[in-house]
Amino acid sequence: MRRRFITADVFTDQPFGGNPLAVLPDARGLTSDQMQILAREFNLSETVFVLPPDDPTHTNRLRIFVPKHEIPFAGHPTIGTAIILAGLGGFDATGEQVGIVFEMNAGLVPVTIRFSDGKPINATLTAPKRPEVGEAPTREQMATLLSLSTDDVLATGAASSGNPFLLVKVKDRAALARSRINLAVLDQIDDLFAKEPLVFTEDAANGFDYQARMFAPLSGIPEDPATGSAAAALAGWLGVHDTMENGTLRRVIAQGIEMGRPSRLEIEINKQDGDVADVRVTGSAILISEGSIEEPPA
């Protein structure tokens, strides 16, 4: 038996930019082991398996796999799957936008899909969890992990809005470009909030607030060209540390530049009475390929 798949490039409106994604729009009957085998075969940052929702008032249930294991939530699979399903005619496109709800292991993820001339152009997700801020690693730890000098590292943090990340702010784009994961150091770290660092620097060029890189070698992803869940974690961390009491902070992140896959991620942080009410991530996606793949043995 063969299964239909569609691929898209996410957090871009240009083919062969952004972050590639594989989606199986009907994964009914597949076991977890079969899903993992297929994700390893595609060998992309993530592969999504679309299932009927557990609650019929929701839109779909999504299971998301990286090459080595399943993860509870991710941004580029959420955005990409929403736009792919919309492109297949799965949602009413008579208006300018439609709201859907995906079930994920991390919780419910509301998504707003926007249309132009009946075609999906971008989508905004609301992270499934309010930000959780963990204990920040030291500048020295992150400098060693990223093969940088301590002077290169300006600040560190740890946060999750559904998926945990280390956050490392470096002084400039040169330090960002020099960042390299030291796997020997990574193997020795066992007391940190997470093991996947989002490295970023302030960058006002080309309309961006930050330029970033994300490394996840323990998940089979040496470097990721666009990471929506890391952007959501950064949004939560920024919101917690911002002194604004009420209102919305908006930032734009460039990622994937060093990989030749430029990506654009837009984040929003909504604050009420000094607390972060929710964080949102917006991006585009473009369909790239469609085909079928052999179903692994059960």
- Residues of the chain with pLDDT > 70: what percent? 100
Q: What is the pLDDT of residue 202?
A: 94
The C-alpha atoms of residue 77 and residue 203 are separated, in whole angstroms, by 26
Pick the catalytic residue from 41, 46, 96, 202: 46
Same domain, 151 and 276: yes
Encode pLDDT of 65-86 as tens digits: 999 999 999 999 999 999 999 9
Q: What is the mean pLDDT of the chain?
A: 96
Same domain, 86 and 139: no
Q: What is the pLDDT of residue 155?
A: 97
Helix (H) or strand (E) holding 7: strand 2-10
Residue 186 CA: distances (Å) to CA of 96, 169, 198, 217, 258: 46, 18, 14, 9, 22
Burial of 270 (0-12, 13-18, 19+ CB in 10 A): middle
Same domain, 52 and 174: no
- Band (pLDDT 50/70/90 cuts) for residue 206 is confident
Same domain, 56 and 190: no
Q: What is the pLDDT of residue 94?
A: 78
Distance of CA 183 to the CA centre of its chain: 22
Tell me the average pLDDT across 43-63.
98
**For residue 297, pLDDT beyond 90:** yes
Give the range of the structural domain holding residue 14, as residue numbers without chain letter. 2-125+284-294
State the CATH number of the domain containing residue 111: 3.10.310.10
Number of domains in the chain: 2
> Active site includes 103?
no
**For residue 192, pLDDT beyond 80:** yes
Lowest mean pLDDT among 14-28, 80-94, 252-266, 277-291: 80-94
Encode pLDDT of 97-146 as tens digits: 999 999 999 999 999 999 998 899 999 999 999 999 999 999 999 999 99
Same domain, 70 and 145: no
Same domain, 51 and 175: no
